[in-house]
Amino acid sequence: MAISRERKMMNDIYGTDMPAAMARRALQHEVRMRALAELRKRDAEKFSLDWTKIARPNQLPPAWAWRIWLIMAGRGFGKTRTGAEWVKQQVKTNRYVNLIGATIDDAQDVMVEGESGLMNICPRDERPRHVGRKLKWPNGAISLIFTAEEPERLRGKQHEKLWADELGAWRYADAWDQAMFGLRLGKNPQACVTTTPRPTLLMTRLVKDAQSETPTVALTRGSTYDNRANLAEAFFSEIIKRYEGTRLGRQELNAELLEDNPNALWSRAMFDQHRVAPKDVPEMARVVIGVDPSASSNEKSDEAGIIVAGLGVDGHGYVFDDFTKIYTPLGWSRTAVNLYHTRHADRIVAEVNNGGDMVEATIRGVDENVAYKAVHATRGKAIRAEPVSALYEQGRVHHVGFFAKLEDECCDFNPILKAQASPNRMDALVWAMFELFGLTEQSTTSFLQFIDNDRAKYQAPREDADVVPTNEPRAAKKKWDGWH
């Protein structure tokens, strides 16, 4: 005889020896307890999504008529959650609440889809539909998704409210200008800015506004330690181990807006005073890919430094891209070769101290026909970097846009200290400039010797002269079009 479904459930839970009536009562109790547990789970989820009950005071908007809320905080503070919660509230009463990330990946993967992003902090019935570069909210509000790498896409766009993430890492300041031009809809247009501090001209200007007698910027500061209770112990231990007690830790953990390191070879002014926009880049005489390879790809590995740079027909150097990150050996070699082709480079220049012949073998395993040059460091990083920093000081090297991590690394590198993190971006940059300007380690014994002995050789050419000499025949002129 077929056994009923209810009886089968009772048998599965209580066995076959329990009398049917007793088992039925026990099953009913079990069903009620499971239903109660589910209700409690939903209540707990509802509580976790109620920002007013769990936010710290410095994660809630200031109670005055500000135009820009600048949240300048350390890693792990909860900046993303704070910005996302602000947007969630604003879409209830505003139709156009738009987002700008430092890159499109940051916007999509952190601001929208991240663990603390909009899709995960909204209850199911309030969650927007993510369609391409747009969020469509259930009440009809719209959030357009922009990136600071494409300031031209912001031209003509208008906003009632705006969430700008990681402003300190935006490549083009023009993106902020365009965003502010468009912040003009509604009765009270406002922007919420969530960022780790960096002493850029823009960030410095906003902080000064916040400290003025008639501010339009509300400044909120916070540190990593503020949110320790909500951080995984492994994350907290790792980030504290990496940054605590260091100058960079004051920025990354305590959210200090650092002044220049007096012992560093670079200053912020060297970058800021000679930074150029894409439209101001001349034709390129040469383009190279500078590589400081890494041998492994675990979380504690050094990053592989990859910098794209060129020598213009004006005799000046230009830095176009920074693709530095943790790669497998195959990963960095594929990236370097891809950049070699897409950037129409003349060669890949790679340091071989860590890898030797395997560096070239790895690159040629991807493409055996690329032009390649191995460089071997025989002197310290400081001695190699001095003549390159001198070129910056002379205004002979320009960054096309802003490279937050590269510039942080250069401005934080102290040639006096022996124990400090490996400056992989700076190393790749130095090797690229060595190749473009024909420098060798033999000509860089000291800063003074470089200035005294080689000034004439590397002096900017006259308007009717050819480009600066290099140790290679000059390639055909290349018109830089942004490569996008």
pLDDT, one tens digit per residue, over 218-227 is 999 999 999 9
Structure confidence at residue 415 (pLDDT): 80
Backbone angles phi, psi at 467, to 5 degrees: -70, 170
Structure confidence at residue 26 (pLDDT): 58
Residue 240 has pLDDT above 70, yes or no: yes
Which regions of the chain carry the CATH code 3.40.50.300? 54-252
Q: How far apart are CA 234 and CA 296, in angstroms?
A: 21
**Percentage of the chain with pLDDT > 70?**
80
Q: Which comes out higher in pLDDT, residue 355 or 456?
A: 355
Structure confidence at residue 33 (pLDDT): 64
Structure confidence at residue 378 (pLDDT): 75
> 382: which residues sit within 8 A by CB, 6+ positions away?
265, 415
How sure is the predictor about 326, in pLDDT bands with cuts at 50, 70 and 90? very high
454: three-class secondary structure by DSSP: helix
Total residue count of the chain as it appears in this document: 484
CB neighbour class for 222 (10 Å; exposed up to 12, middle 13-18, buried from 19): buried
Residue 474 has pLDDT above 50, yes or no: no
Mean pLDDT check: name the lowest of 123-132, 209-218, 295-304, 447-456.
Answer: 447-456
How sure is the predictor about 82, in pLDDT bands with cuts at 50, 70 and 90? very high
Q: What is the pLDDT of residues 189-200, one digit of tens each?
A: 999 999 999 989
Structure confidence at residue 203 (pLDDT): 94
Q: What is the pLDDT of residues 248-301, one digit of tens each?
A: 788 888 888 888 888 899 999 999 999 999 999 999 999 999 999 987 767 667
Give the distance, in angstroms, between the CA of residue 455 and the centroid of all CA atoms in the same chain. Answer: 36
Structure confidence at residue 457 (pLDDT): 45
Mean pLDDT check: name the lowest of 177-186, 427-436, 445-454.
Answer: 445-454
Residue 105 has pLDDT above 60, yes or no: yes
Residue 141 has pLDDT above 60, yes or no: yes
CATH number for the region 54-252 comes to 3.40.50.300
Which pairs from 245-253 meet CB under 8 Å and 24+ separation?
Answer: 247/412, 248/408, 248/412, 251/196, 251/197, 251/198, 251/408, 252/74, 252/75, 252/196, 252/224, 253/74, 253/75, 253/223, 253/224, 253/225
> Average model confidence (pLDDT) for the chain?
85
Structure confidence at residue 10 (pLDDT): 55
Q: Are 275 and 300 in contact (CB under 8 A)?
A: no
Structure confidence at residue 251 (pLDDT): 87
> 279: which residues sit within 8 A by CB, 6+ positions away?
none
CATH number for the region 268-454 comes to 3.30.420.240
* Residue 142, strand partner residues: 96, 136
pTM attached to this predicted model = 0.75
Q: What is the pLDDT of residues 388-401, one digit of tens each?
A: 999 999 999 999 99
Residue 468 has pLDDT above 50, yes or no: no
Q: Are 398 and 276 in contact (CB under 8 A)?
A: yes
Q: Are 446 and 386 in contact (CB under 8 A)?
A: yes
Structure confidence at residue 98 (pLDDT): 98
Structure confidence at residue 9 (pLDDT): 58
Q: How far apart are CA 408 and CA 6, in angstroms?
A: 67
Q: What angle do CA 321, 327, 333 make, to 5 degrees?
A: 70
C-alpha atoms less than 13 angstroms from C-alpha of 288 in its C-beta half-sphere: 26
How sure is the predictor about 462, in pLDDT bands with cuts at 50, 70 and 90? very low
Q: Which helix (H) or strand (E) holds 363?
A: helix 357-366
Q: What is the pLDDT of residues 343-393, one digit of tens each?
A: 999 999 999 987 788 999 999 999 999 999 999 887 778 888 999 999 999
Beta strands in 341-405 (DSSP E): 347-351, 372-375, 397-399
Residue 119 has pLDDT above 90, yes or no: yes
Q: What is the pLDDT of residues 147-175, one digit of tens each?
A: 999 999 999 999 999 999 999 999 999 99
Q: Are 113 and 105 in contact (CB under 8 A)?
A: no
Residue 212 has pLDDT above 80, yes or no: yes
